[in-house]
Chains A and B, each alone.
Chain A
Amino acid sequence: MARKILIIDDEDDIREVAALSLESVAGWDVIKASSGAQGLARAAEFQPDAILLDVMMPGMDGPTTFRELRKNPATAKIPVLLLTAKVQGTDQRRFADLGVEAVLFKPFDPMTLSSQIANALGWK
């Protein structure tokens, strides 16, 4: 059965490139959300195998969304990978300290995004 991934990103272009990449390279099923609030609802409803979560979003940002996911028993155990264009070391450390499975960086290579996720999560 195909893996199911939820992408939460407010930027349409990034979200669509990531979705295309994961669907066509890895054959995964992709669910999309354009805000943290929408992402929380979709995570609870669809129970994805993993969540790719943008850091900088208006309203509820990535770290806040992550904490909300962890508070809800229905989503608390879903692995989360943060996706960020922040390159400064202090930001990277702060994100890693949140307790996410991995921090991935924008821009990503559409050809290899799925293998980055699979490697981070120990998927074969």
Chain B
Amino acid sequence: MKATAQIDARSDAALSQAIDGLWERFLPEIRERVTVLEAATKAVAGRKLAGKQRDAAQAAAHKLAGVLGSFGLTRGTVLARELELTFARESSPGPDASAKLSAIAAELRAMIESRKPSA
């Protein structure tokens, strides 16, 4: 029983290490998605959010929401989902929403840049 638990712990650690490796590999794409969101939130502030940019922001947020939790960033998924729902609404977010959207994008950026290896 004890030996089994040790083997399980070792395999969990190996999986965590491998997940960390994937994080490093895909970090450029993940960063790029956050950049898309930051640009969209800036456009909201300037009342310049066009349909194409909003679609791109929605897609970027959707992808982040789907993956961040698998890398241990559960709150990242919550934040990305909030942005996804905001950009998915029929009416574009108004400038009054820009401060909140910018804060969410900034938190996402900080979270991604500070993710620590899980193993």
Contact = CB atoms under 8 A, between A and B. Distances in A.
A21 interface: yes
A111 B15 contact: yes
A108 interface: yes
Nearest to B11: A24
Say which size band chain A's interface belongs to.
10 to 19
Q: Which secondary structure dominates chain B's binding surface?
A: helix
> What is the interface residue range for chain B against chain A?
20 to 34
B22 A20 contact: yes
Interface of A: 11-14, 16-17, 20-21, 24-25, 56, 85, 87, 106-111
Given A20-B15, A109-B69, 18 more contacts: A11-B67, A13-B26, A13-B29, A13-B30, A17-B19, A17-B22, A17-B71, A20-B22, A24-B11, A24-B15, A87-B81, A106-B65, A106-B67, A106-B69, A107-B67, A107-B69, A107-B70, A109-B70
